[in-house]
Structure 1
């Protein structure tokens, strides 16, 4: 009787071990198949990215990431690349959405915050752009240009107090900040309009737009505090183009990334 019980127990254990081993092999096979599929999708996504088919790249890399999270960084790149293409095509709202998806994956990448802030400024989402520059300052506390950008945005919001406060912060980091030379004139200058006109010549920063149709008479007097002057359609207009950011770049020498084209009516004064 004891021998029978022992034999039964051995048989039962053998069956159990066999079932466990079979289940494990099934999981491994499934994982291998899933990994292989993820790899295939990721490779196809990479090829789509190379050929600038961004919608296809995002779709494929999203599927690959669902199967294997190691492809998540590649998905972030696809979102950023598509966001940049959208911004270049003036689809700023859609660009912001893609940059946001990229930031969810890579929250410590300054470049993506910069690109999203640029797109946000183009749709006058100034508060969101301020938040992005605040995040950038956390990532790069010594980067004065981020503080200067906040100053310019506050200026566009007609908030001269905060604008000057940001300038003071920049001066604490860099006493030679060229912005300090503009402070006396800024204090006495009229505020900028809260919403800049859409028909304009724009610079790479996104907020430096021509104040089309604003003549010097509209201000009551000629105002020139760090702006470069242009000849517009029957009116003297200005564009924010601060030397603290752009250095010695000429007025019409816009960086390639911005892909901006000046209207024919925007002719620099000599």
Structure 2
């Protein structure tokens, strides 16, 4: 929590919150502690104790005031509240990740949406299940044993990922920002994945230290696929009732060139049968 606040304080300048910068160069990047404390309406001493890790039970009101002063997004604000719960020993606000296999209903949905590539993911993006098009879209993912199939691990460690994702930097940044949200709900899984990826990828380690936080939702992803060529697909993320499993679907409107490309992708899969 202390590290998160310190990093976020360093990223917002006084001019962004209506404070004068003063004459000469500032020795401190971003806001000073006293500036942030004043904006949040708390004493400098109290804020200093929070940032130094000596105050482990700040109230939600104080944390919300700091979130407003730091211009945190809704996802970042929720992450800060969750970090405070973890530090203080309070029960997490969300149920911990459920280690069950993919829910039968989500598995059925994987088949129902074909030829759209789709995956059932847990909170750290382990691939619990995928339809054939999903495995075909992430080229090379099926070469890994099921226990290693994770979309974040794939992004940083699979040799095909940098070629496959047309905007690899954006995909990588989104992946790390999402993983920060899992620190609170699946701490053991998250810690293991962080340790593995930090040791194997300096780029992951650098992005992790940025403490960017947001939840993966709908958007678009551009691919350079070895079998179907360049394609941009819309994606939707749907959560299960318990919240510990999600289904990620890449799709295109019927009748478009992109949808035709997905049909072609389906024809490359092992179970495609006769066209």
Return the TM-score normalized by structure 2.
0.28
Flag the structure with larger Rg.
1
Which structure features the higher share of helix residues?
1
